[in-house]
Amino acid sequence: MASSENQGIQIALIIFVILTVVLSITTFLFFRQYDSASMERDQARTEAATANNTARSAQEEINMLKSQVIGFPEDATLTDIQNALAADMAIYAATYPDAQKTYRQVLVYLHDNTLQEARDQANKATEDNQRLILENQQREAARQAQIKQHSDAAAAAEANLRQQQTAFQATVAGLEKTKNDLQTRLDEVRAQMDQLNAESTKKIADLTGVIQNLENTLLTRTREIEEIRTETFEVPDGLIQTVNLPTGTVYINLGRADNLRRAVMFSVHDQQSNTLQGDGLKARIEVTDVLGEHLAQAKIVEDQVANPILRGDFVYSPLWHPGRKVRFAFAGVMDLDGDGKSDRQAIHDLVRVHGSEIDAEITDAGQRTGQITLETRYLVLGDQPDEGEALQGFSQLQAEARQVGTQIISFRKFLDLVGWKDSQRVLQFGKVADPTDFLKPVPDGGRRSSQGSTSDQFRRRDPRELRTAPAEEQRPQRNAAPAPM
């Protein structure tokens, strides 16, 4: 047993010794190769440094050659230089042999050729100079011959000029005589023209008088036509159907079928009046509600206690007519409330409410707007302006209205026909009071009452009856004068 253990130890020892020898040999070889590689590396570094220095020197020489010798930037590539060389050679040395196309040889070639060309040009210039001298001598000889020829011609021309001057003087004398004859004829014609002008002036004056007479006649005829037109065409727009005095309302036979709108104002005229010019004016009403095709309710704006509204009275408005628009023109200062200020905007609103239109107008500043046409029904004249463009336009608009037959009415008459009433009017007492603003005094013993039978128009109605709107009735014909009631 002990012998076997010794053999194992011996074997292990032998193996260890072998491994130690092998490891030593391997280590020796490794260090030997490392020393050789270190030497080779140092040698390679030395060679690389030498090569870098050589390359750096070569690059510096190349950069100097590029920039200072052949004129290219240092970053130019060989391809760029070759392309530029080919382009330069194609321009400056196209006929030079390709094998010798270098910048140095081309410069020598260009220098020699340029010098030769300069010599050739100098020789040619010398020959040209000699030729020009000869030609100049020939021209001088020809010029002398021409001078002699022109001198002879000038002498002949001078002689001819003297002859022409003599003939011209004779012509001037003839023209002077003709001028005198023409002046005499001109004086005769002027005398005839003066006589004709005098006769024309007299005829114009005569014709002006005739025209003035015709204008006066036309004005007279226009006024007559306006009077006839006023009496013929100013017919009522409708009739009063029912009167409710306690509530201050009336019913008229106008409605939706007549294009009637709220706020339209009418003047009420007595049924016995012949015209609507103000003789029979008894009240003013304003439409408050349109109830039917030919029925509307209106409130009494102003009336007369002594002359109450009756059934069958006429209603009329120059601003509104059934089924058509009334067209107006306005001129002058229009003051509704007597405060001395223009109320033109209120007039515009009044016309607009009634559905009418304004064709022409002279503003307060004198500016003209629109034109009067044959469709213009009325020209309403306010207070006449003092001066300036407003006064001129005031007169011009009247003349145009007369020419087309437009009816001219005053501003106050317009307000009466419209049925306008100043809602802000204040009663004044004392010396400045207006007697028409107050009711007539009641006699002693109170108001008298009738002891006899009264008409249905004045009979006190049952309130239940007043709440029922009257039936629509037939309106009067506008194309015929109203028949007396």
Residue pair 314/482 in contact by the 8 Å Cβ criterion: yes
Q: Coil, strand or helix: which one is 281? A: strand
Read off the pLDDT of residues 86-137 as tens digits, 9 standing for 90 and up.
Answer: 787 777 777 777 766 677 777 777 777 777 777 888 888 888 888 899 888 8
pLDDT of residue 427: 45
What is the DSSP code (8-state) at residue 66?
A: I
Domain boundary among 370, 395, 418: 418
What is the Cα–Cα distance from 341 to 137, expressed in whole angstroms?
Answer: 106
Residue 248 has pLDDT above 60, yes or no: yes
Instruction: Give pLDDT, residue 240.
Output: 93
Q: Which of 368, 391, 418 delimits the end of a domain?
A: 418
- Note the pLDDT of residue 329: 92
Percent of the chain with pLDDT strictly greater than 70: 77
- Distance of alpha carbon 477 from alpha carbon 238, whole angstroms: 9
> For residue 454, what pLDDT is reported?
45
* Amino acid at site 386: D
Residue (of 340, 335, 394, 337) closest to 367 by Cα position: 394
Separation of alpha carbons 456 and 468, rounded Å:
17
For residue 353, give the CATH number of its domain.
3.40.50.10190
Q: Which residue has the tokens 């036309």?
A: 218
Q: Rounded to an integer, what distance in angstroms lies between the CA atom of residue 226 and that of residue 223?
A: 5
Does 128 map to a domain?
A: no
Query: Which residue shows structure tokens 């001298």?
Result: 133
Q: Say how far apart CA 160 and CA 384 lie, in whole Å.
A: 86
In a domain, 107, yes or no: no
Distance from C-alpha of 180 to C-alpha of 178, rounded to nearest angstrom:
5
**The pLDDT of residue 452 is above 80:** no
Place of tokens 């020959």: 127
Q: How confident is the model at residue 482 (pLDDT cuts 50, 70, 90)?
A: very low
Number of domains in the chain: 2
- Alpha helices (H) along 354-450: 388-404, 411-418
Does residue 322 form part of some domain?
yes
The region, left, alpha or beta by phi > 0 then psi within -120 to 50, assigned to residue 366 is left
> Are the C-beta atoms of residues 352 and 265 closer than 8 Å to each other?
no
Report if residue 331 sits inside a domain: yes
Region of poorest pLDDT, from 112-121, 230-239, 447-456, 467-476: 447-456
Nearest Cα to 413, choosing from 315, 334, 309, 325? 334
Domain residues for the domain of 391 are 318-418
At residue 297, does pLDDT exceed 80?
A: yes
**Average pLDDT, integer, range 285-309:** 89
CA separation for the pair 397, 399 (Å, rounded)? 5
Structure token digits, residue 415: 């307000």
Identify whether 207 is part of a domain.
no
- Which of 283-297, 299-313, 314-328 has the lowest average pLDDT? 314-328
The residue among 398, 418, 438 that closes a domain is 418
Residues 6+ apart with CB under 8 A from 385: 332, 333, 366, 391, 394
Residues 6 or more apart whose CB falls under 8 angstroms from that of 219 comprise: 402
CA atoms within 13 A on the CB side of 302: 22
Specify if 254 maps to a domain.
no
Return phi, psi of residue 380, to 5°: -95, 120
Burial of 482 by CB count in 10 Å (0-12 exposed, 13-18 middle, 19+ buried)?
Answer: buried
- Is 342 inside a domain boundary? yes
Judged against a pLDDT cut of 90, whether residue 446 lies above it is answered with no
Residue 347: pLDDT band (50, 70, 90) is confident
In this prediction, residue 429 has a pLDDT band, given cuts at 50, 70 and 90, of very low
Establish if 45 belongs to a structural domain.
Answer: yes
- Confidence band of 440 (pLDDT split at 50, 70, 90): very low
What's the pLDDT at 299?
93
Q: Cβ of 330: how many Cβ atoms within 10 Å?
A: 25
